[in-house]
Amino acid sequence: MPFFKKPLAGPGYIILNVIRAMNIIGLFAVIVASFSMLVKTFIVSKFFFFDAVSHIITASLSMFLIITETPLFRTYILHSWPLLSPSHGFVTLGILMTVVGVSVLGNLNKEATSQKSLGVSYWRIVISSGIVVVILGVANIFASYIFRQRKLGVTARQVRAYGAVAAQKALAHARHHDVHARDEYP
């Protein structure tokens, strides 16, 4: 049974694009927090290699997720990372964002990245970026289920891209894909 009686593709276009902008801002905050913790870990700790690698991986994953939220490298993402492509919803994005946020927040328990070591302003950046990205990750998961139109085969990403005409675009894309599939496999 669907959550709502009528399709939410029209309002979903606006809501999902606002969430997209918040995702990008939140992920940029994680990048800033990761590099701040990287510098502080280098200054405070004598053996920092694995902490440094952890911060670099977190920042790199955040940069990659920003790229998946923009139209850059669309074909590469479609073929190499299909769960982050328009043919799927935001569940994978939400899970990855939640993991990134928990990772950032988990670093606050270490001496090199404590409030005393980072200073109040950098500590606030780290804690706020972690909390915001966890909340946005959960919001993306819920948005994926709320704004999809399962009976029509429309994902929340397609609603975000096309709005109220997402069902027609998804149907046209499916027909185009079926024609090419028949041509490749007679």
pLDDT at 186: 44
Q: Where are the domains of the chain?
A: 9-184
Q: Each residue of 123-161: pLDDT tens digit? A: 899 999 999 999 999 999 999 988 887 777 788 888 887
Query: Which one-letter DSSP state was computed for residue 185?
Result: -
DSSP states along 49-64: HHHHHHHHHHHHHHHH
pLDDT at 134: 96
pLDDT at 72: 85
CA dist 89 and 92 (Å) reads 8
Q: Which residues of the chain have pLDDT under 50?
A: 1-2, 4-5, 178-186
Which pTM was predicted?
Answer: 0.82
Looking at the DSSP bridge assignments, the partners of residue 154 are 149
Other Cβ atoms closer than 10 A to 15: 18
pLDDT at 170: 62
Which residues, other chains included, contact 97 with Cβ-Cβ below 8 Å and sequence gap of 6+? 23, 26, 27, 65, 133, 134, 136, 137, 140
